[in-house]
Structure 1
Amino acid sequence: MTTELTPLYPQLPEKALIVLIGASGAGKTTLARTWPAFQVLSLDSLRGWVSDDEGCQDATADAVDVLHLLVDRRMARRRNTVVDATNVSSDARAPLVAAAKRHGMPAIAVVLGTPEVVCLARQVPRPANRTVPDDTVRAQHKARIHSHQSLHGEGFNEVHFAENLYRLEPFLRRLSEARDADLGLDGGDGLGDLLLVRRVFGPEILPLWQWKHRSAVAGGDRVAEIRLGQLYLTLALRRNVDGEGDYGFDVLVPCPFDPECSGDAWVPAYTVSCLHRALTGQLDNHEDIVCTVHGGFDDVDQEADDHASNLDDDPEGRADIDAQAMTALHG
């Protein structure tokens, strides 16, 4: 007989108003960053939007007005929304809960029970305009403790402590999905396809970059082209370059072993400087170049060693070669 296991960590609704409650320095912003940026409404950021200074306390009232407007509009659209503000007083929480109820959205309180001494210590390295006085932090911490018992009565559907939340898995999943988009592995054709390109070669290269979706020149790997006028470079996106999960680019260059070789020769390209060197021929004899016909320099050297070894085993053959060389020299 099996019994269904009760989850050790509460799962938050996918669409809700999530109000973070804690003193300054409790870790609200760190927790908020585990949600997508568009879902987070930070009072500090809104101060910056209205005053050009996130630490401008004189702009708090204006920032709160903007916060309430954005919460209402997001609730109307039924968008998951995280409020990153101190929220230790019922007066600060009431308009937020009212907006959720007005649009039929659940309101979730997430309490950060960070010890007072930790909240105070976190003020020390902050810039002067972002440092909250110790007396204020102590008052916020006390208000947070006293408010816990009243949160359900204020209209919150659920109340959770932050340390009990199941946030690591969705956070890592989101980062993993973003990385797949960076690498163009999500099947999309938008900017996500170019984020790895931006990271390796810089944003200036993006307007010239074009994926060649039907190209087979790289043996099944994705192929792109950088073109400006008559000049262009062909690149391939390689997987598992130095190990499982590693990615990188190769650039197409001439075969260094035979000028009439019809194979493709590839050399790693790590930066935009590599692209310049490839275009100007400075990578044509790079030690890591690999031709699809001749292989790399190690392969060619091994073929030469094998050929010399065969001649050592066949003295008459070497004599014939020496005789042909002498004839060629003397006409």
Structure 2
Amino acid sequence: MRIVFAGTPAPAVPSLRAVAASAHDLVGVVTRSDAPLGRKRVLTPSPVAEAADSLGVPVIKADRLDAEATAAVETLAPDLGVIVAYGGLVREPLLSVPRHGWINLHFSLLPRWRGAAPVQHALIAGDRTTGASVFQLVAALDAGDVFGEVRYDIPRGATAGEVLTDLADAGAELLARVIDEIAAGTARAVPQRGAATLAPKLSIADGALDLTRPADVVLDRFRGTTPEPGAHVGIAGARLKVLAAHRGPDTDLAPGVLSVSGKDVLLAAGEGTTVVLKTVQPAGKGAMAAGDWWRGLRLDGPRVELPGAQVAS
């Protein structure tokens, strides 16, 4: 088959490479336009664009799959469209351009967590199992019939970034198998069953850690928002980004109190629990060990109150 691939971030690259390595003809790649990255805001191609360039595959850069993008895809005469985390919706008439339509690799067990951030929401909700699904793309959000899925037990302590890396590889294998089955005429898709839950895109505000909740709930949100959009707490009127953390010992300190125990910085949470801060990033600075950050506060006295948090020593 002639296949056109649409995707943008790093988790889509294993699928792109799997399609390129298949017996099918990868005739083009659609990805979002170069984006400004880093402090200097340098325009940088997407990970999918860079991978496609290394494979020698023609690239169509489009932030929306509009009439211009549709016309560009039509010239490729694809038999099948494949989309993995492109970052935009495929609507008619583009939806019907490929002879077999479009299939989507989605990083959840549908219909749970339809939307832009399925892995993040799964971790925030405390799910212990997730997976990846390949389904037939339809006009409704992530609602098409499912060709196949792979289940994944979430490792204890894994962040959204780590889970996505694993699912990107497992999902690429599933996707390649489904493509072969479609080509052979043996693919069978079944309707989604069960209640749908939604996983909308996260904002910076979604990374705020609510210290009135128990530590396990706090850590679920930390893992679900790491690395993006970033977990954080408010300290001294500024946002302290939390890069690495785990469950700590029980305490009698009130939620929101910071204390130090050896090299560890403990953050008291609800119900007498604590979170151990291991690596943090203060506003305007680089990542550092939480203990180094604590020493840099240069606290005086046995107890100091900071706006937005309490600090005990």
Pair in the same fold by TM > 0.5:
no
More strand by share: 2
Q: TM-score, normalised by structure 1?
A: 0.25
The structure having more radius of gyration, on CA atoms, is 1
